[in-house]
Every structure is written in C-alpha cells, then in structure tokens.
C-alpha cells in the first residue's frame, strides 16, 4: 500500500442507485486495478423505481471483480442474484452476521417474487406474459456461493493499491461502514448509520479519517423525537387494551422485529404493560432472531436477555396459523413483515383489521414513497390489498423513536468526529428533501461542500473538485422537488 502512485492515476465513482432516493444502493468504484461495487440493493417503493430493477445496469456484471456489502437489508443486497445471473464471477465480501442475514433475506425475497409472479398469472393482472419473477430461489442460492465472510476491523487487500475494512455502524446486526484505501485516498462509505442509543447495538464507530465520504441521508432533514420508546409504546398498548383490539405492528423482519420484541419484554418485566399475547408472524423474523444467538460479539444483549426475547413470543409459521391468530379476540399484539406493507404476511392482517375502529396499526420505521405504509401515514381513506380496496377505520399511529437510522443531528455529529476534513462528500440514500437539507446543514455547520448525486452520475475522484459526469440522468427525482 505504500508504493508511489502516479499523479495521473484516476478513478471514478458512479451512483447507480440510492441517488435522490432511499433504495437501490449501488456505488460503483472503477479504478485502474479493479472495479468494485459497494452494495447491490433493490429499488423499492414507487412503481417507477421498482421498474429500475428490470433495467440493464450501465456496467457489465462480468466486469465487476468485487462486491462489498455494508449490511443485509434488501435495499443493499436485493439485486445480488440478478448480478450473479448476469455474469458476476467475483467475491461478495460481508461480515458474518450480514452473510447469515443476507441468505435469509434473499431467499425470502426470491420466494415472494415467485409467489407474486404466480399470483399475477392466476389473477390475470400481469403486464408480462407470462409474469416473471426478478429472480428465483435457485438464483439466490447461486449467489451464496460467492459470499466471503470478513472479520471486523481487518484489512482485506483487493489489489496492489486497494484495500478495505469493515467497522461497526450500529444500524442492524452485522452492519458496518467501509473504510477503503484506494491509491492515495481513503474513501469511507457510511452504509446506513445507526443511532447513538439502541436496545441491542453499540453506537456507530468513527472513521479513522476520510478523504472522500459517501454518507446516507434517510433522516437528513429530521430529528427523532426526544420521548422514550417505552413511554410512547406503553401508551399505545394501553389504548389497545382499553379498546380490546389488536395492535398490528408492520415491521422489518431483521432488526426492527427484534428491537420490538426486546422492548415489549422489558415493559412486561417492569409491569408497564399487562402480559397480553405477542405474536411474531414472520418466518424470516424467526430465522433472523436465531442469528442474534449465533453472533453474540455483534450485539450487546446478554444471553439470558436473548433467550427471554425468544421465549416470550408466540411464533406463527404457516398461513393457516395466521388465520387462526386473525380470529383470536383482542387485546393482543401482532408483529408481522413487511415493514412498509409492500408484501408478506402483514397484508393478511391488514385486510382483516383495517376496517375496525378498535384496532391500531403502528408504523415504526421509514415508509418509502409509493408504499402502503406511506399511504397510511398520509391518512388515506382506503388501501388496495390483493386487488381490492379496504376502508381505513383502524387508528394509524407512528413511532419514530424506534428508527434504526441516525437523525440529522447524529449524522452531523458523526461527521464532525472524523479527525480530518474530507475533500469530497457525496450524499446518498435519501429522498431529495432529506439529502438537500443535509447538504445545507453540512455546509452551514461543518463548512464542508457536499454534493447529492443524481441517478447514474459519475464523478472523477482523483482531483479535489466535484466534476460532475456527463452521463447523469435523473429518472427518480420527483417533479415537485427542485434543488
């Protein structure tokens, strides 16, 4: 890593996803030695975004030598099976828990896509004839052959002048930011940055230095409320008990579901809430919970608390049981995936509970534009599920304190703690209003110039100027947002 580098060495970074949007993270680093893709996520949410998953990438899959994955969430891993099917032959580097969770998430994603394609064929609403899943479970399994587990904080040499290491960033189990030495520059990819306070994870570590920083901005324009999660959730649960209804919590199966289980257990132990039944209806959530037991070094839960979280939940595994749970009278709590109500078991509950006043739907995480979760948050009067409309009569509540993302203040503080001033900062993984608010805050508070790339934009990284590429297109920017 110490050999002299010619002044003419140049490398580029192209943002093939999470540029002006939250999903589809794919950052392509082209260097004279190798081509590296950092994250390989699926676009989710609005239809025009999901359609991007079917478009050809602006790079040949076979020309990418290495993929590095910051964490297992679908918007960072969900495109891997397509990349492999299209000819990627290299290694996919990731941490132990990320590898375990990625296998669970990709198999689930493939299964859902196969089921959706089947459903579309039978219901006759597919525009493709026949409807084709984006990838199959077989494609997902093929991807697993490329996974290469890396230890925390250990440098991995990729080529003569390029190496990287993972550092914990407190977002979900196994999640990390990436520090990469590329010729004479240190590039840091934040991944999704966690909060300072979490029930199960340590706060994000701080980069040693950063010449070039790629930072997420999911909550770049917002602060999380200062109220405690316990107080907020306990009020909601007491209200549901009073109404003898069901508290339906759509939840990401990885991370959020486990935090909710921990929190509810804790509240029962402290007698903040009575011992009402809590169901977790997500086979993926169950598998993900097992990963917590397998990787004790990656979280801060003592073994007895892990066991407790496991024992006090009623697990629902097949769809027949789902319908039995739906018929059980309240009060009860049901946690089910998916978190943004885009698919999964939660839709069966939603269909049955949405029309009754005594029930509460609790949104606990980020809701992307175009999802049923975002529609509910916007107080729509009806929701379309499996091709039919259902009126919204249940109460819809939101809890931001359980978010797995740093808010604006935490993002700024994390950057402020980096010992040097980065030459270049790229803001990704945010809706335009969030990214631009963070861009402004970075300028005003830190005195640094940041830029929010647009979809497929390429930047030359050898110099210190932000030279924008000519190949930028901006298909995903909403019309009502101007910079």
Give the footprint of Zn ion on this chain (CB under 5 A).
73, 192
- Cβ of residue 71: shortest distance to Zn ion, in angstroms? 6
- Cβ of residue 258: shortest distance to Zn ion, in angstroms? 14
CA quadruple 329, 260, 24, 435: dihedral, nearest 10 = 120
- Cβ of residue 340: shortest distance to Zn ion, in angstroms? 12
Main-chain dihedrals φ then ψ at residue 180, nearest 5 degrees: -125, 130
Cβ pair 445, 412 in contact under 8 A? yes
Starting at the earlier edge strand, list the strands of the sheet with 458-460.
Answer: 147-150, 91-95, 66-68, 35-38, 27-30, 12-15, 458-460
- Cβ of residue 190: shortest distance to Zn ion, in angstroms? 11
Q: Which is nearer to Zn ion, 192 or 308 (by Cβ)?
A: 192
Identify the H or E element spanning 76.
helix 74-77
Give 97-165 as a DSSP string.
HHHHHHHHHHHHHHHHHHHHHHHHHHHT--SSSS---SS-HHHHHHHHTTEEEE-TT--EEEETTEEEE
Q: Which of 365, 449, 445 is nearest to 401 (CA)?
A: 365
Q: Which of 34, 17, 138 is nearest to 82 (CA)?
A: 138
Q: Which is nearer to Zn ion, 23 or 265 (by Cβ)?
A: 23
Q: Which is nearer to Zn ion, 150 or 254 (by Cβ)?
A: 254
Collapsing DSSP states into helix, strand and coil, what is residue 68? strand
Q: End-to-end CA distance of the chain, in Å?
A: 40
Q: Which is nearer to Zn ion, 192 or 281 (by Cβ)?
A: 192
Q: Which is nearer to Zn ion, 73 or 348 (by Cβ)?
A: 73
Give the DSSP letter of residue 452: -
- Cβ of residue 428: shortest distance to Zn ion, in angstroms? 12
Cβ pair 41, 140 in contact under 8 A? no
Q: Which is nearer to Zn ion, 173 or 247 (by Cβ)?
A: 173
For the record, the structure tokens of 106 come out as 């990709």
Question: What is the rounded CA–CA span in Å between residue 359 and residue 208?
Answer: 49
- Give the contacts of 68 (CB within 8 A, at least 6 positions apart): 36, 37, 38, 39, 92, 93, 94, 164, 178, 180, 189
- Cβ of residue 316: shortest distance to Zn ion, in angstroms? 25
- Cβ of residue 231: shortest distance to Zn ion, in angstroms? 26
Q: Which is nearer to Zn ion, 117 or 178 (by Cβ)?
A: 178
For the record, the structure tokens of 257 come out as 């579901």
Cβ pair 211, 422 in contact under 8 A? yes
- Cβ of residue 73: shortest distance to Zn ion, in angstroms? 4
Q: Which is nearer to Zn ion, 254 or 334 (by Cβ)?
A: 254
Q: Which is nearer to Zn ion, 250 or 330 (by Cβ)?
A: 250
Q: Which is nearer to Zn ion, 73 or 161 (by Cβ)?
A: 73
- Cβ of residue 213: shortest distance to Zn ion, in angstroms? 18
Q: Which is nearer to Zn ion, 308 or 407 (by Cβ)?
A: 407
- Cβ of residue 474: shortest distance to Zn ion, in angstroms? 23
Cβ pair 140, 109 in contact under 8 A? yes
Q: Which is nearer to Zn ion, 192 or 407 (by Cβ)?
A: 192
- Cβ of residue 22: shortest distance to Zn ion, in angstroms? 9
- Cβ of residue 120: shortest distance to Zn ion, in angstroms? 28
Cβ pair 98, 68 in contact under 8 A? no
Q: Which is nearer to Zn ion, 23 or 322 (by Cβ)?
A: 23
Residues 396-420 as b/e (b if ≥16 CB within 10 A, e otherwise) read bbebbbbbbbbbbebbbebbeebee
- Cβ of residue 32: shortest distance to Zn ion, in angstroms? 32
Q: Which of 214, 224, 262 is nearest to 38 (CA)?
A: 214
- Give the contacts of 327 (CB within 8 A, at least 6 positions apart): none
């Amino acid at each position: 890593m110490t050999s002299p580098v010619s002044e003419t060495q140049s490398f580029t970074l192209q943002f093939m996803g999470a540029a002006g949007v939250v999903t589809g993270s794919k950052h392509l680093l082209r260097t004279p030695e190798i081509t590296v893709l950092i994250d390989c996520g699926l676009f989710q949410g609005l239809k025009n975004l999901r359609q991007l998953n079917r478009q050809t990438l602006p790079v040949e899959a076979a020309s990418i030598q290495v993929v590095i994955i910051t964490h297992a969430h679908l918007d960072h891993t969900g495109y891997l099976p397509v990349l492999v099917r299209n000819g990627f032959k290299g290694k996919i580097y990731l941490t132990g828990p990320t590898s375990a969770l990625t296998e669970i998430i990709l198999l689930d994603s493939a299964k859902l896509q196969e089921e959706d394609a089947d459903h579309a064929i039978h219901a006759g609403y597919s525009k493709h004839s026949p409807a084709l899943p984006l990838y199959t479970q077989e494609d997902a399994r093929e991807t697993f052959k490329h996974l290469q587990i890396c230890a925390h904080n250990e440098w991995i040499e990729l080529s003569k002048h390029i190496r990287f290491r993972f550092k914990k960033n407190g977002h979900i189990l196994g999640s990390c930011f990436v520090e990469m030495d590329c010729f004479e520059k240190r590039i840091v990819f934040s991944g999704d940055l966690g909060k300072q306070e979490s029930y199960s994870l340590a706060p994000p570590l701080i980069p040693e230095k950063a010449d070039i920083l790629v930072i997420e901005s999911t909550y770049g324009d917002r602060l999380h409320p200062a109220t405690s999660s316990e107080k907020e959730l306990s009020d909601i649960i007491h209200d549901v008990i009073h109404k003898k209804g069901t508290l339906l919590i759509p939840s990401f199966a990885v991370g959020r579901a486990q935090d909710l289980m921990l929190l509810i257990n804790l509240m029962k132990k402290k007698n903040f809430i009575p011992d009402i039944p809590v169901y977790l209806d997500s086979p993926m959530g169950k598998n993900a919970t097992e990963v917590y037991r397998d990787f004790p070094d990656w979280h801060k839960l003592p073994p007895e608390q892990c066991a407790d979280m496991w024992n006090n939940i009623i697990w629902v595994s097949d769809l027949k049981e789902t319908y039995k749970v739906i018929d059980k009278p309240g009060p009860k709590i049901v946690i089910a995936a998916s978190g943004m109500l885009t698919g999964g078991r939660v839709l069966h509950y939603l269909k049955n509970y949405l029309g009754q006043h005594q029930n509460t739907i609790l949104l606990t995480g980020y809701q992307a534009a175009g999802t049923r979760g975002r529609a509910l948050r916007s107080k729509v009067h009806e929701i379309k599920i499996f091709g039919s409309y259902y009126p919204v009569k249940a109460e819809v509540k939101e809890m931001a304190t359980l978010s797995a993302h740093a808010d604006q203040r935490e993002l700024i503080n994390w950057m402020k703690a980096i010992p040097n001033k980065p030459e270049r900062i790229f803001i990704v993984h945010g809706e335009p209003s969030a990214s631009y608010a963070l861009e402004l805050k970075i300028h005003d508070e830190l005195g640094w110039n940041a830029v929010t790339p647009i979809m497929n934009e390429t930047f030359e990284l050898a110099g210190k100027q932000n030279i924008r590429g000519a190949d930028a297109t901006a298909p995903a920017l909403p019309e009502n947002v101007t910079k």
